[in-house]
């Protein structure tokens, strides 16, 4: 009997510890959250200002079928408009962030259907999101999964993560940024090697080539990604948005154009209340209170 009681206490303590490690789940967005088929959403962080979107199609290793991408777009749009959300974390399961576009779903596609339906164009919602998105990648990020992670602003990888563009083995090529974003991030030789062989690289190599900014033990990955979102969330949402736009411009234009854009955006911050508050707070040696105005 004593043994059973002891066992129960140990189990209860383990559950409590596990619960303490989990990010807090708030109720915001719950009206739609219950209806998701392919994703899960929650709002977390001490200030309830970090949204976590979890790809949730375990049987297919989070293969990115149309339904999943539609739900992801809808959630991103909703969080993008939610003034209480400062950052978004996008994650998957321990085995797979996402194993790519859904091969079974796209297999019957014809050329004319791809052209007329502008296949994969609706994926760009992720890259259009104005708020910072952090990809927390555990397990496989392959094909469209790797491209999805690269559409995010920052990638944190679990120590068992694997990245690759294996489309070549399917008789096709990457179609959502794999030949473009990857090349800009890791350079021509590594991108070419990955795209032409389909070989995967592990988390450590991904960090070495600059594809991910940090490698973290798999079980701590989500917590660290949320902490990063919370840190970003201590700043002005408005200025964070401008800064994200300026960094992204580096990928989309020439150095001269980019520098001009940066300078003008920098000047524009001088018209905001948050810039005044940030500098005033420094002078008065107190924390800034940002209002995103």
Active site residue 101: yes
H runs (alpha helix) in 58-187: 66-81, 103-106, 111-116, 125-128, 144-151, 181-186
- How many Cα neighbours within 13 Å face the side chain of 223? 11
Can residue 167 be called a binding residue for ligand 2MC (CB under 6 A)? yes
Can residue 92 be called a binding residue for ligand 2MC (CB under 6 A)? no
- Token reading at 219: 């079980």
Can residue 166 be called a binding residue for ligand 2MC (CB under 6 A)? yes
How many residues in the shown chain lie near ligand 2MC by CB under 6 A?
Answer: 19
Catalytic residue among 51, 98, 99, 101: 101
Residue 104: count of CB within 10 angstroms of its CB:
9
Can residue 142 be called a binding residue for ligand 2MC (CB under 6 A)? yes
Q: Is 215 helix (H, G, I), strand (E, B) or coil?
A: strand
Q: Which residue among 132, 143, 177, 233 contacts ligand 2MC (CB under 6 A)?
A: 143
Can residue 151 be called a binding residue for ligand 2MC (CB under 6 A)? no
Can residue 140 be called a binding residue for ligand 2MC (CB under 6 A)? yes
User: Among candidates 46, 57, 66, 13, which has minimal Cα distance to 229?
Assistant: 46
Residue-wise burial string across 175-214, b where 16 or more C-beta atoms lie within 10 A, e elsewhere: bbbbbebbbebbeeebbeebbeebebbbbebbbebebbee
- The answer to whether residues 162 and 201 touch, using CB atoms and an 8 Å cutoff, is yes
Catalytic residue among 45, 144, 158, 175: 144
Can residue 102 be called a binding residue for ligand 2MC (CB under 6 A)? yes
Q: How far is CA 157 from CA 188, 211, 215, 226, 246, in A?
A: 22, 10, 5, 13, 24
Can residue 192 be called a binding residue for ligand 2MC (CB under 6 A)? no
Can residue 195 be called a binding residue for ligand 2MC (CB under 6 A)? no
Restricted to residues 206-265, the positions that interact with ligand 2MC (CB under 6 A) are none
Active site residue 277: no
Q: Which residue among 39, 87, 101, 194 contacts ligand 2MC (CB under 6 A)?
A: 101
Residue closer to ligand 2MC (CB basis): 24 or 199: 199
Restricted to residues 6-65, the positions that interact with ligand 2MC (CB under 6 A) are 60-61, 63
Rg (CA), the chain: 21
Q: How far is the CB of 59 from ligand 2MC (least distance, A)?
A: 6
64: Cβ–Cβ under 8 A, 6 or more apart, which residues?
55, 98, 100, 101, 102, 123, 144, 145, 148
Catalytic residue among 42, 167, 207, 230: 167
Q: Which residue among 172, 197, 204, 234 contacts ligand 2MC (CB under 6 A)?
A: 172
β strands within 116-255, DSSP E? 133-137, 140-142, 154-158, 162-164, 201-202, 214-216
Q: How far is the CB of 167 from ligand 2MC (least distance, A)?
A: 5
Can residue 170 be called a binding residue for ligand 2MC (CB under 6 A)? yes
Residue ranges in contact with ligand 2MC by CB under 6 A? 60-61, 63, 99-104, 140, 142-144, 166-167, 170, 172, 175-176
Catalytic residues: 101, 144, 147, 167
């Amino acid at each position: 009997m004593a043994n059973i009681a002891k066992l129960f206490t140990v189990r209860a303590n383990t559950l409590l510890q596990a619960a303490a490690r989990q990010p807090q789940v708030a109720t915001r967005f719950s009206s739609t959250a219950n209806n998701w088929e392919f994703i899960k959403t929650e709002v977390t962080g001490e200030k309830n200002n970090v949204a976590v979107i979890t790809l949730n199609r375990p049987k297919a290793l989070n293969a990115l079928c149309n339904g999943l991408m539609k739900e992801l777009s809808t959630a991103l749009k909703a969080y993008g408009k939610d003034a209480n959300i400062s950052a978004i974390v996008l994650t998957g399961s321990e085995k797979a962030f996402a194993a790519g576009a859904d091969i079974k779903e796209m297999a019957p596609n014809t050329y004319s259907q791809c052209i007329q339906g502008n296949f994969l164009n609706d994926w760009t919602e992720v890259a259009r999101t104005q708020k910072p998105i952090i990809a927390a990648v555990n397990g496989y990020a392959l094909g469209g999964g790797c491209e999805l992670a690269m559409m995010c602003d920052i990638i944190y990888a679990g120590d068992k993560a694997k990245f690759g563009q294996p489309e070549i083995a399917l008789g096709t090529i990457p179609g959502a940024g794999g030949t473009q974003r990857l090349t800009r991030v890791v350079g021509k030789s590594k991108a070419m090697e990955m795209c032409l062989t389909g070989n995967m690289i592990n988390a450590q190599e991904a960090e070495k080539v600059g594809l991910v900014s940090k490698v973290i033990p798999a079980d701590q990955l989500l917590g660290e990604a949320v902490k990063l979102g919370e840190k970003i969330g201590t700043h002005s949402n408005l200025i964070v948005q401008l800064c994200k736009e300026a960094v992204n411009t580096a990928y989309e234009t020439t150095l001269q154009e980019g520098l001009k854009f940066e300078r003008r955006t920098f000047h524009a911050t001088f018209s905001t209340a948050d810039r005044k508050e940030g500098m005033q707070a420094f002078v008065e040696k107190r924390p800034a209170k940002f209002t995103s105005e």
